[in-house]
């Protein structure tokens, strides 16, 4: 059975307390719909981007569609949440000491940093059990430090921040041979440098200079015939990069960073180069707004055989919305493409499991054929969508601060779908013996013709005996991923529902119980389906950069990274919103 959750506490009625069915009191209207492109508005699109209507691929068979729609019960639940958000007497009255929980997250972050500092300071990767590390290039790039720097700042770990900052500006050089991941180096290293610069009040010029040096070298990867870069960047090269096939998400998850760098430095080529990538993607034929997970860098056409909101697809959709938000909703094409994509998600990817009624996002396989196939596979990565949908439903404005009538019907559908996905991602944690989630979940299906369960093979294991989520042997690991707690944070900020904070606390407790060791700090988990879970000699930088940061913000009643003033890149680096004026 699906666990029940306690409703938000309601105090005794007063003459201002909302009762079920009563209208929400009038609030100042905040426009969350698409803006009109006003004459004279500085809009980068109007200067050089072709926004002609897009071409779409052939239609799929009708029986492939999942056609997810919110139920009447879910719509009524959202009405209740909106009423509670507008009701002063309905706010959280629990006795939970969130400040104390936040301090425990800070303590975890400090311990994670201290072990890295002791064993591998300056190295790009840390192996905690071996007490060693390694670099991704000849002399290292400062990957680990740059990725966690803004977390240290936000948590008030100023001594640790200074040690990391000083290393980056005095010890790191990009004049070295070898290749690096363009995507990872952009979101982790460039994004981390830019965020740290932002949190310095945009006054630490040394950090900006390092970011500019890195950006100029990474930008050489855009010098292909189409502008679509290869997946790797050569730091010391001035020739034309060789690119054949690139990951769609990787080439479309560079834009927030390079656009902000263009704003800071005044170098328009940074912006123009990443916008050119989006031009090509926007013109390429799509499946109801959905894109294949690979794109040909020579032709600019999609070449992959599957569609997924997990690996190699996820952050394309994330950055559609966030590019719209980054320049304060002045470039409508991003929102239009995002809405089109979410229509495709509801039509072809979102569905519900048979027994637990878990809403999940599947994948489409064999999309190049006349008979594409739905797959009930959802990566942990896809859990980002729960929060992204909530963020897009109000453009970051809390429900308590908007006029309910300003929510479009599609905004309501998006928010409901986000909440349902958030619940499913919580189940991926709470239904396992360890309370930690596997890398990939598969969902039980029922044959629509026979009404019987579709059998699964011996390699698959139900993470809960009477549940709907299966996991393969090779997918049972947990590398301390952030996507679920990221969504808990965004869902809490938008809806005000305390349950998302409680969910985050349960995840943190499980991490503390199974991933922490006083001997070697935090490690990844090899198998979440056994107790005690076995460990891996690895720790990703995003544990400190993202997972602990989102937990810290989730337990923070203050609002240091307001969603109406900041946009998080794909590595949880909060960057300020701006306009091109």
Which residues are annotated binding-site positions for Ca(2+)? 570
Q: Which of 273, 266, 307 is nearest to 288 (CA)?
A: 307
**Catalytic residue from among 147, 439, 475, 546:** 439
**3-state class percentages of the chain: helix first, strand second, coil last, to nearest 5:** 45, 10, 45
Which residues fall in the annotated binding site? Answer: 570
Euclidean distance between CA atoms 581 and 573, whole angstroms: 24
Active site residue 175: no
**Catalytic residue from among 288, 483, 497, 540:** 483
Q: Alpha-carbon torsion 554, 560, 565, 566, what sign?
A: negative
Contacts of 519 by beta carbon, 8 Å cutoff, 6+ apart: none
Q: Which helix (H) or strand (E) holds 364?
A: strand 363-365
Active site residue 184: yes
Contacts of 11 by beta carbon, 8 Å cutoff, 6+ apart: 17, 89, 90, 93
**Catalytic residue from among 125, 147, 160, 314:** 314
Q: Which of 418, 411, 407 is nearest to 491 (CA)?
A: 418
Q: Which of 315, 178, 153 is nearest to 249 (CA)?
A: 315
Torsion of CA 514, 520, 524, 526, to 10 degrees: -70
In angstroms, the Cα distances linking 148 to 164, 255, 552 are: 9, 20, 13
Active site residue 483: yes
Residue 85 dihedral angles phi and psi, to the nearest 5°: -65, -30
3-class DSSP state of 516:
strand
Active site residue 301: no
Euclidean distance between CA atoms 280 and 275, whole angstroms: 9
**Catalytic residue from among 124, 184, 339, 379:** 184
Ramachandran quadrant class, 140 (left: phi over 0; alpha: psi -120 to 50; beta: rest): left
Euclidean distance between CA atoms 189 and 194, whole angstroms: 9
Q: Which of 541, 574, 581 is nearest to 133 (CA)?
A: 541
Which residues are known to be catalytic? 184, 314, 439, 483
């Amino acid at each position: 059975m699906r666990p029940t959750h306690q409703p938000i506490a309601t105090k005794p009625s007063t003459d201002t307390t909302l009762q079920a069915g009563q209208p929400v009191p009038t609030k100042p209207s905040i426009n969350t719909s698409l803006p009109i492109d006003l004459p004279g508005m500085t809009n980068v699109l109007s200067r050089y981007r072709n926004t002609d209507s897009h071409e779409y691929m052939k239609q799929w068979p009708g029986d492939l569609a999942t056609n997810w729609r919110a139920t009447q019960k879910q719509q009524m639940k959202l009405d209740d949440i909106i009423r509670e958000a507008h009701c002063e007497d309905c706010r959280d009255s629990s006795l939970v000491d969130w400040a104390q929980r936040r301090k425990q997250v800070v303590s975890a972050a400090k311990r994670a940093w201290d072990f890295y500092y002791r064993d591998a300071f300056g190295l790009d990767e840390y192996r905690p059990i071996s007490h060693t590390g390694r670099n991704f290039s000849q002399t290292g790039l400062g990957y680990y430090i740059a990725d966690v720097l803004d977390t240290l700042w936000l948590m008030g770990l100023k001594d640790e921040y200074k040690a990391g900052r000083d290393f980056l500006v005095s010890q790191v050089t990009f004049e070295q041979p070898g290749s690096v991941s363009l995507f990872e180096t952009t979101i982790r290293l460039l994004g981390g440098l830019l965020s740290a610069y932002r949190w310095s009040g945009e006054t630490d010029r040394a950090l900006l200079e390092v970011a500019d040096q890195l950006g100029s070298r990474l930008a050489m990867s855009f010098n292909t015939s189409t502008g679509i870069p290869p997946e790797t960047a050569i730091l010391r090269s001035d020739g034309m990069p060789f690119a054949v096939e690139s990951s769609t998400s990787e080439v479309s998850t560079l834009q927030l960073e390079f656009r902000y760098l263009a704003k800071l430095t005044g170098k328009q080529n940074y912006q123009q180069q990443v916008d050119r990538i989006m031009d090509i993607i926007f013109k390429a034929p799509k499946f109801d707004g959905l894109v294949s997970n690979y794109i040909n860098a020579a032709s600019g056409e999609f070449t992959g055989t599957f569609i997924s909101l997990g690996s190699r697809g996820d952050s394309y959709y994330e950055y559609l919305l966030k590019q719209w938000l980054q320049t304060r909703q002045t470039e409508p094409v991003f929102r239009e493409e995002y809405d089109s994509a979410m229509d495709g998600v509801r039509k072809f990817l979102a569905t519900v499991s048979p027994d637990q009624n878990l809403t999940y996002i599947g994948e489409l396989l064999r999309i190049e054929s006349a008979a594409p196939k739905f797959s009930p596979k959802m990566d942990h990565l896809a859990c980002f969508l729960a929060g992204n949908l909530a963020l897009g439903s109000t453009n970051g404005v809390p429900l308590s601060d908007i006029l309910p009538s300003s929510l479009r019907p599609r905004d309501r559908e998006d928010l409901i779908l986000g909440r349902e996905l958030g619940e499913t991602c919580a189940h991926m944690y709470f239904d396992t013996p360890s309370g930690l989630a596997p890398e990939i979940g598969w969902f039980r299906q029922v044959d629509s013709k026979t009404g019987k369960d579709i059998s699964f093979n011996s390699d698959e294991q139900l993470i809960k005996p009477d549940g709907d989520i299966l996991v393969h042997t090779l997918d049972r690991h947990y590398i301390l991923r952030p996507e679920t707690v990221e969504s808990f944070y965004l869902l809490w900020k938008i809806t005000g529902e305390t349950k998302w904070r409680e969910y985050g606390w349960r995840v943190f407790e499980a991490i503390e119980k199974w991933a922490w060791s006083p001997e070697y700090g935090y490690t990844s988990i090899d198998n979440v389906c056994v107790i005690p879970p076995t460990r891996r000699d690895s720790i990703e930088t995003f544990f400190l950069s993202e997972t602990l940061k989102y937990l810290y913000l989730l337990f923070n009643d203050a609002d240091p990274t307001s969603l109406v003033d900041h946009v998080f890149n794909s590595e949880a680096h909060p960057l300020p919103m701006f306009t091109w004026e």
